[in-house]
């Protein structure tokens, strides 16, 4: 709104210079002389056109056609100020005593173009000799308003357009502005009212500048400012300078930020519940001419959430933000993302009943700003989980966001590390996390809809996924990790029952420890070294968990450590099917074969030992397994036959 004052100051200076010679000369000559005076005082060329009319009494007035005020020599070729018509009226009688009482200044369709570059502003004037107008209250070649004894009863700009250009880039351009101002006497405040048609509804502005002469001379002065939009009020009270610097107390109260944003040209935006559908914000604010905005003693109530902290903002493209915020409980249970009025999300059609969502993920907000925001909270609630004491730092850099957890209390334990979302060349998400004493069931239910494993979990996890939907990200996941647990429970399988009766489904297994490592590729988690320790059993595991397909194909091999004379008895169990309803299938045929094989070997060995012992007795010689039994028997029979023949023929 400092620009509105600048418009008034420019026009008042023009009026003062015109008024001194109005009564003496015809219109075209008046226009020429006034243009020369303005050029001498401001260094700018002025063209009033040829259609200049003059009235003398009781209101000394001038009406022009198109008017043009030139730009600074370093700025663009576009004029600083143009208007289709200008009407000025001055009370004639007070002029006789040297007092200028301006009755009216009315500009039709004016366009004001404000430019900044290299620390220079085109609204800071120089004289024809090149002396710069002072901005700090020092000696200046710019005429002081109070030196003329000027008053202004009515200033009106109709259908004005305002353009602001910084370093060659237009960052503000809006039209449909109506402005009214009055300054009834030199010691009275300047009062300004304006209506802006930026968006769907009008924005009304009221400003009071107690010391207009001081402001025009470049001194820092007081200012109060109120802006009213639908269901919204913005207030400022503090100091202001002619170069646009401010320092004071500011506040915003909005009962409906959707209506407020629509009025500012952002229709259809509805902030998530908890982030400011209803907002009340206050801060000590400082803004410098180089675009730096500092907020101190910041307090913000956004719906049910109340923040405190400080922030620094550099006005640029995109804005640069540094903020430090504190909050007790941050309730984001209603967080559903930024939505559009009347839009149909189509969640039911886009996502399968038992699968990941195929709704496109909009992360365009990552490009809105760069910088760093640190949040310390006692508790953070979302629709899916509740975080305890949390220290979070969000860093934004050219559409890439890094959320640092240092640490975050979640699932009964703590998580440290970072999560990354990168939208520079399509969306990718990743992370590197370390977990300490996490309740496994709570984590798995929340993150993967798995509820069969309970216990305290330690571990680390690295992952990377690419895609514009939840489904494509989960199917593209890659990464690795390790995990270890102390005592825990597996539901849906009873190893004691399985080892005892061959039926272990439907129960639970209490284990003493669990360790595993894994890799992830193309959405499939692969594990080869799971080890589960129980009092009487051990279970080894190997297989695949489909993170993308939401299925599992995993082989457990429980071993009864006290069976088979302490050598163990293994019973493989395959877990197969979707996460929502996996099947547990023990392979009992291998159990029978193994057990039978143990008895047969034992019986065979005992029978063989008895047969060898008997044969040794019969043959009257020692017989071992290594000898050819058939040859021994043949030799024995030959010996017996030979002795029989010798006896028969009397050779004995």
Whole-angstrom Cα distance, residue 435 to residue 482? 10
Tell me if 222 sits within 8 A of 214, measured CB to CB.
Answer: no
Rg (CA), the chain: 45
The residues with which 436 forms a beta bridge, in sequence order, are 414
Query: pLDDT band for position 221 (50/70/90)?
Result: very high
How far apart CA 83 and CA 611 sit, in angstroms, is 126
Characterize the bridge pairing of strands 513-521 and 524-533: antiparallel
**Pairing label, strands 320-332, 370-382:** parallel
Over residues 606-632, mean pLDDT = 65
Q: Rounded to an integer, what distance in angstroms lies between the CA atom of residue 76 and that of residue 120? A: 13
pLDDT of residue 399: 92
* pLDDT value of residue 351: 43
Split at pLDDT 50, 70, 90, the class of 34 is low
If you search the block for the tokens 């005592």, which residue do you land on? 487
| Of the candidate ranges 62-76, 184-198, 482-496, 559-573, the one whose mean pLDDT is the lowest | 559-573
Q: Measure the CA–CA gap between 621 and 627, rounded to whole angstroms.
A: 12
**Which residues contact residue 494 at a Cβ distance below 8 angstroms, ignoring those fewer than 6 apart?**
504, 505, 506, 507, 508, 509
Q: Are 536 and 561 in contact (CB under 8 A)?
A: yes
| Crossing angle (nearest 10°) for helices 2-19 and 27-42 | 130
Q: Are 69 and 79 in contact (CB under 8 A)?
A: yes
**Highest mean pLDDT (candidates 71-85, 113-127, 436-450):** 71-85
Residue 448 in tokens: 């993967």
Q: What percentage of the chain reaches a pLDDT higher than 70?
A: 70
Please name every residue paired with 194 in a beta bridge, in sequence order, or none if there are none.
179, 205
Instruction: Check if the beta carbon of residue 88 is closer than 8 Å to that of residue 103.
Output: no
- Taking alpha carbons only, the member of 248, 210, 250 closest to residue 233 is 250
Give the helix/strand (H/E) hosting 460. strand 453-466
Number of other CB atoms surrounding residue 50 within 10 Å: 11
Q: Is there a contact between 150 and 139 (Cβ–Cβ < 8 Å)?
A: no
pLDDT of residue 500: 53
pLDDT value of position 63: 81
- The answer to whether the predicted template modeling score (pTM) of the entire model surpasses 0.85 is no
Burial (CB count <10 Å: 0-12, 13-18, 19+), residue 291 = middle
Please report the pLDDT score of residue 435 as a whole number: 92
Q: What is the DSSP letter of 185?
A: S
DSSP state of 367: G
Give strand pairing partners of 118: none
User: What is the average pLDDT across 431-441?
Assistant: 92
Res 465: pLDDT: 96
> Mean pLDDT over residues 118-129, rounded?
69
pLDDT at position 93 is: 67
Q: Quick one: pLDDT band at residue 638, thresholds 50, 70, 90? A: low
């Amino acid at each position: 709104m400092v620009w509105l004052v600048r418009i008034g100051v420019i026009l008042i200076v023009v009026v003062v210079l015109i008024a001194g010679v109005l009564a003496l000369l015809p219109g075209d000559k008046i226009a020429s002389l006034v243009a020369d005076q303005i050029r001498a005082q401001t260094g700018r060329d002025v063209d009033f056109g040829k259609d200049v009319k003059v009235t003398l009494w009781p209101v000394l007035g001038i009406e022009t056609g198109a008017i043009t005020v030139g730009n600074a020599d370093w700025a663009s070729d576009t004029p600083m100020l143009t208007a289709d018509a200008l009407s000025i009226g001055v009370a004639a009688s007070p002029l006789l005593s040297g007092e200028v009482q301006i009755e009216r200044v009315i500009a039709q369709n004016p366009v004001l173009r404000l430019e900044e570059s290299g620390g220079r502003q085109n609204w800071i004037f120089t004289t024809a000799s090149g002396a710069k107008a002072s901005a700090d209250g020092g000696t200046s070649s710019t005429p002081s308003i109070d030196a003329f004894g000027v008053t202004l009863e009515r200033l009106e700009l109709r259908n004005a357009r305002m353009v602001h250009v910084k370093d060659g880039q237009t960052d503000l351009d809006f039209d449909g502005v109506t402005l009214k101002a009055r300054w009834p006497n030199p010691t009275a405040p300047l009062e300004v009212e304006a209506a802006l048609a930026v968006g769907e509804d009008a924005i009304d502005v009221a400003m009071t500048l107690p010391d207009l002469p001081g402001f025009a001379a470049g001194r820092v002065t007081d200012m109060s400012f109120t802006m009213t939009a639908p269901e919204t009020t913005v207030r400022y009270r503090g100091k202001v300078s002619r170069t646009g610097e401010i320092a004071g107390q500011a506040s915003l109260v909005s009962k409906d930020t959707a209506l407020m944003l629509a009025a500012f040209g952002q229709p259809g935006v509805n902030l998530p519940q908890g982030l400011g559908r209803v907002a009340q914000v206050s801060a000590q604010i400082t803004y410098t001419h180089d675009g730096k905005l500092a907020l101190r003693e910041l307090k913000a109530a956004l719906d049910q959430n109340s923040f405190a902290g400080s922030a620094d903002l550099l006005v640029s493209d995109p804005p640069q933000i540094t903020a430090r915020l504190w909050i007790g409980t941050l309730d984001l249970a209603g967080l559903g993302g930024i939505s559009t009025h009347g839009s149909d999300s189509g969640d039911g059609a886009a996502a399968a009943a038992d699968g990941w969502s195929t709704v496109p993920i909009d992360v365009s907000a990552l490009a809105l700003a760069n910088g760093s925001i640190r949040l310390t909270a006692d508790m953070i609630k979302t629709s899916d989980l509740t975080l305890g004491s949390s220290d979070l730092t969000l860093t934004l850099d050219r559409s890439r966001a890094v959320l640092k957890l240092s640490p975050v209390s979640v699932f009964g334990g703590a998580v440290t590390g970072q999560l990354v979302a990168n939208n520079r060349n399509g969306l990718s998400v990743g992370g590197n996390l370390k977990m300490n004493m996490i309740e496994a069931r709570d984590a798995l239910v929340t993150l993967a809809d798995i509820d069969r494993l309970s216990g305290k979990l330690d571990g680390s996890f690295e992952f990377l996924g690419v895609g514009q939907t939840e489904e494509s990200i989960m199917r593209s996941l890659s990464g690795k990790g390790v995990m270890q647990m102390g005592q825990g429970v597996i539901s849906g399988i009873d190893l004691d029952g399985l080892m005892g009766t061959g039926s272990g489904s439907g129960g639970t297994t209490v284990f003493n420890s669990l360790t595993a490592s894994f890799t992830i590729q193309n959405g499939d988690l692969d594990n080869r070294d799971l080890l589960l320790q129980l009092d009487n059993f051990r279970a080894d595991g190997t297989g695949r968990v489909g993170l993308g397909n939401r299925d599992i194909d995993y082989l457990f091999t429980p071993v009864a450590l006290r069976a088979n004379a302490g050598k163990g008895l293994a019973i493989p169990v395959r877990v197969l099917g979707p996460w929502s309803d996996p099947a547990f299938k023990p392979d009992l045929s291998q159990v029978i074969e193994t057990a039978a094989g143990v008895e047969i070997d034992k019986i065979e060995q005992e029978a063989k030992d008895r047969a060898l012992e008997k044969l040794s007795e019969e043959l009257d010689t020692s017989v071992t397994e290594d000898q050819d039994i058939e040859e021994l028997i043949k030799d024995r029979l030959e010996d017996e036959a030979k002795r029989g023949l010798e006896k028969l023929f009397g050779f004995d």
